[in-house]
Structure 1
Amino acid sequence: MPAKVLEAIFTLLVSHDTPRKGHIGWIRVSHVCSKWRAAAIGSARLWCNIPVDVLDNRWVSIFVQRSGNEPITWEMPKIWTSPYFAPPPRSPLSPHVQTLIQENLDHIAKLRLYLPASTPENKKWIRTLGAKASLLTSLDLDCLFSPPVSLASSMAPFAAPLLSELVLKGISPDLAGVSWSNLLTLNICNAQLDFHPLLAVLSSAPKLKELTLRDIYLSSTTSTGAHNRVFLSKIQKLDLRSDPRTCVIICKALSIPPIPSYRVDFAGPQISFQSGVDPIIDVISVIRERVRDAYCSERPLYQLEISQQSQTEELWGDVTIECGDERCDEEAELEGDGIMNFFKLSLSRGRISDENTLSLLKSLSLGTCVKMHASGYLLSDGDVWMDILPDLSRVDKLEVCLRAGQPFIEAAFELFDDTTSILPRLTWFTLNMVNLRAPYDDDPPIPIQLYTWIVDRQTRAGVKALHQLEVICCPGLTAKQKDLFYKLEGMGLLMDE
């Protein structure tokens, strides 16, 4: 069999049988016979992907030697993370491997390293890594140092000319004078950044598609006028998760077009939105601006999701907003273009007052919302529902879950009188995991309030009748109450306990 054919077969095997501890993987082909060995050793491309933390020093040296002048991919396997379990411990890079990386940095195309924060040798070595990396296209340094390590562009290759992906965690890069003409993805976490060099380097990245800044502290911040904003014309994903001050400053410094994914997490344990005035005003200003920029008259706000953040979230934030254009599977509902405008507002329990919650909701274009999902503690107050229900004039599909359910039913029952039309376009209504037991003995039963509201709206002039009612996993319904719902005519009914 010709050597070229063997090389092609071995190339396929490389991705399917990677070396791991105690198992040399595809390298076994070089032990079969002299012809196979010659074909394997003679193909430099087979040895370019170096799994650095699963091979001993001898094998790492062999990989480097046999890769020749081919661009090297030097990656540690990604760490599997879970909110329930601590990540597996990482061993520090051996001095031998550190030296090999430094000596061959100019031949590395992709470099991904996870360095334990508890090892002082890692901090010392990362400061001497070097900046000469003419072939580097992807750099991922996950160090999680606390406090983060400050690195100048002369110490590390995060200013490489071909760099298209940069991930820095636990490292504070000095961005002065750095230019990223080819950068597509930027992810910086747990770092201190100088504000103006950050804006300058973002303005030098015309191809940037994904920007993530988490747990960032900004220094030397001054306000920027609208004319000085950085316009990220190619951006498709923006993820900001820091304290309110940092998020607001960055949001006001960037000009973002409507994009598929826009997330800002105002996470600041030192700032409470319960009584603070300035933080909530700043957050509302960002949301209002985002609504104005993202939801043009041709495509107004389509779907609104209001929920409580889970304790398993990476950050237990005060306020999270997500908005942008998303593909919708139900293209027929959107007149064939398959695009919808989506907005998600997520708040943490007990961290924001009802007044501030209402202020946030009122800052949205609720009158243009067509679909809405509400759950958790965020809308667990009937007064908030009483204030926003009259604004939801275009909602045709509504799902209410958990603690938001009872206050919604009580507010809708109270507001839906002879002169008021609440949710006039609603045709699909879902209650999910809502406790339908009345909280007080003297209250009308919650299921009866729900039933009365539905019957009343089915015959109300100027109000669309419900086509579908879903009551899913909602305790508190008696057999007689269930019979009342089953006797409703003219609509589909799903009752799943």
Structure 2
Amino acid sequence: MTCGPDIMMNDLPPEVVLTITELLQIVWPAGKHHHRLLRFSLGWTVVCHVSSRWREIILSSRGIWARQAFTFYSPRWIQEFIRRSRDAPLRLDLRQLASNAGQLPYNRAVTDLIYTSTIFTRADVIVTACIKRGANKAFSPEMSSLISGAVFSHLYHIDVCIQSSTGKITDFSAPNLETIRLHSDACTAHECPISIQTLRNLITQSPRLTQLYLSRVVDDSLHKPLETSKLHFTKPRLNSLGLHGFSESLISSVHDLIHLEIKAKVSITLYSPGSIAQAQRSIHDILSLDPHSPYDVEIEEGRDYGCDLDGMRVAWRTEFVVLRMKFESTRDACILYRMDKVAPSWTWQRFAAGADPSRVREISMGGRTVLQEIPDHVLPTELLAYTNNLQSLIITNSGYVPCLPSLTPDCDLRSLALAFGPMLHHLTAVVDFLRRRSEKGNDTTLSLYGSTWIQMDEDEYLKLEAPVLMELRSICTVRDLRTFVRISYPHPDSSSSES
């Protein structure tokens, strides 16, 4: 049916009315509680008051109620919406349900109703939030057993958090899957709830797959090469790939099962790689990169943690240093290696031997300060010793300044930036470093950024820095863009006088 320019709103075709309602469901959903009005907002249902015809069309639609079934944190409303949806595929958005619950107390009747086999197998979308993000009001350990061995005839989008303590997930079938996002809280590879064989079976049965995201969910400790010649399946073409696992074997396993689009966005994180050389080969294969492709490196600190089932207690915590690789030939790919602070699975020497650091063009060190002190094995001194073609070095944390003497004198370093508000002793260390390089004829531009905290007047401090800055300007080009902030301490008599 076509709509002319003179058609009245009340005469719009039913499919147009339902399209308007579906859009309002997205931008104006129900389920939000108004504290001022002391009631739940009806949201999109106001369109039912346009006319009696619109009301009849909307209320008789099965899909409208199927998408709205898990909005209110109330077993009575969930049952009513499921009854109105009849046999339509359900949208199981437990992330939105937990958000709409707000300050309501945990209701066991809600989870008992949700986690039944008939509800899960009818779903076309299953979405849950991570436990440590406050999703425990709509989470049940029974989800793992419900997914295992199930057949989802309508499911095209799954985004779930699987607790490692709820057991392993066996093969399940969902031939219409387009998006797979599975994440877990596993601390080691052995705790991951999905095996590589289960992942293979899932991907080979999902030819429509376009997005794949796996985080701490695949047990890649036991890896057997896949004989693709014995498999007959259509490889899905992905435009988005995220692999965050413990071993490099996960990359090679997925590479045998998929095709990546030319402009696909790729994110890979290895928490404890065993072989840097094998990991680099797998990364180059899955990204179709030239083995001699240049790349940039960012080194920063971070921390991660996992929670118990109640989402309130921390089960494990780790502090680490992240090495981020970005290739010049494909800016849509980001590769991360994690080095644990206490028990690292690799060293900078092994990385230099397996990743060919002579292809590094730029290094940024520092990032957000997390660790109380930087251990010696975390400082990338052995990496800098092999960066013969390094052109730019950025230091955003003063703890990495001691790495400067390790930089090979053969590299043509054109830019050195200190972006943490360097002080006099930092500049003195840079003078010693650049003086040795100036003897070899290297011309470097030194840039100074950030806020420098001083305990005296700015003019007095600049007088102390003047000889060092003068020497720096004699051996390199200096760009001083710092801002000086004086530290002011309260007078000891001020507190007593106020009291």
| TM-score bin (small chain) | 0.5 to 0.7
The alignment partner of 2:216 has SS state of: strand
Contact 1:362 1:388 in 2 (8 A): no
Q: Which residue of 2 aligns with 1:374?
A: 365
Q: What is the deviation of 1:397?
A: 1.6
Contact 2:300 2:323 in 1 (8 A): no
Give the distance between the partners of 2:117 and 2:395, measured in 1 at CA. 57
Q: What is the deviation of 1:395?
A: 1.7
Counterpart residue identity of residue 463, structure 2 = K
Output aligned runs, 1:240-319, within 5 Å. Answer: 240-242=244-246, 247-251=247-251, 253-255=253-255, 260-266=265-271, 282-290=274-282, 293=285, 296-297=289-290, 300-310=293-303, 316=318
Counterpart residue identity of residue 64, structure 2 = L
Counterpart residue identity of residue 72, structure 1 = L
Contact 1:232 1:255 in 2 (8 A): no
1:160 aligns with 2:196: no
Q: What is the deviation of 1:52?
A: 1.3
Q: Which residue of 2 aligns with 1:272?
A: none
C-alpha change, 1:362 and 1:235, in structure 2 (3 Å) is farther
Give the distance between the partners of 1:16 and 1:383, measured in 2 at CA. 47
Give CA-to-partner distance per residue, 1:186-209, whole Å, 9 cap, x none: xx9964344444444445555464
Give the distance between the partners of 1:286 and 1:229, measured in 2 at CA. 25
1:395 aligns with 2:390: yes
Output aligned runs, 1:173-184, within 5 Å. Answer: none
Output aligned runs, 1:300-449, within 5 Å. Answer: 300-310=293-303, 316=318, 322-323=324-325, 325=327, 339=331, 343-352=335-344, 356-375=347-366, 381=376, 387-411=382-406, 421-424=409-412, 426-433=413-420, 436=423, 445-449=425-429
TM-score (norm 1): 0.66
Give the distance between the partners of 2:468 and 2:196, measured in 1 at CA. 59
Give the distance between the partners of 2:190 and 2:56, measured in 1 at CA. 45
Q: Which residue of 1 aligns with 2:4?
A: none
Match of 1:136 among 142, 147, 155: 155
Q: Which residue of 2 aligns with 1:64?
A: 82
The number of residues matched between the two structures is: 426
The alignment partner of 2:278 has SS state of: helix
The alignment partner of 2:318 has SS state of: coil
TM-score (norm 2): 0.65
Q: What is the deviation of 1:54?
A: 1.3
C-alpha change, 1:385 and 1:370, in structure 2 (3 Å) is same
The alignment partner of 1:74 has SS state of: strand
Give CA-to-partner distance per residue, 1:223-282, whole Å, 9 cap, x none: 43898899987474232334xxxx244345454789743423325xxxxxxxxxxxx7x2
Contact 1:303 1:370 in 2 (8 A): yes
C-alpha change, 1:24 and 1:97, in structure 2 (3 Å) is farther
The alignment partner of 2:349 has SS state of: helix
The alignment partner of 1:94 has SS state of: helix
Task: Give structure 2 stretches of 5+ with no counterpart.
Answer: 1-8, 34-39, 308-316, 485-499
Contact 1:29 1:36 in 2 (8 A): yes
Contact 1:72 1:108 in 2 (8 A): yes
C-alpha change, 1:126 and 1:10, in structure 2 (3 Å) is same
1:18 aligns with 2:29: yes
Counterpart residue identity of residue 56, structure 1 = S
The alignment partner of 1:162 has SS state of: coil
Give the distance between the partners of 2:98 and 2:467, measured in 1 at CA. 50
Counterpart residue identity of residue 348, structure 2 = T
C-alpha change, 1:494 and 1:13, in structure 2 (3 Å) is same
Contact 1:436 1:446 in 2 (8 A): yes
Q: What is the deviation of 1:482?
A: 3.5
Give the distance between the partners of 1:481 and 1:227, measured in 2 at CA. 69
Counterpart residue identity of residue 173, structure 2 = A
Q: Which residue of 1 aligns with 2:447?
A: 469
Task: Give structure 1 stretches of 5+ with no counterpart.
Answer: 82-86, 173-187, 268-279, 326-333, 416-420, 438-444
1:237 aligns with 2:241: yes
Give CA-to-partner distance per residue, 1:128-167, whole Å, 9 cap, x none: 99845422212344453x63245555xxxx4122122345
C-alpha change, 1:432 and 1:237, in structure 2 (3 Å) is same
Give the distance between the partners of 1:225 and 1:338, measured in 2 at CA. 27
Q: Which residue of 1 aligns with 2:110?
A: 94
Contact 2:405 2:433 in 1 (8 A): no
Q: Which residue of 1 aligns with 2:10?
A: 2
Contact 1:406 1:434 in 2 (8 A): no
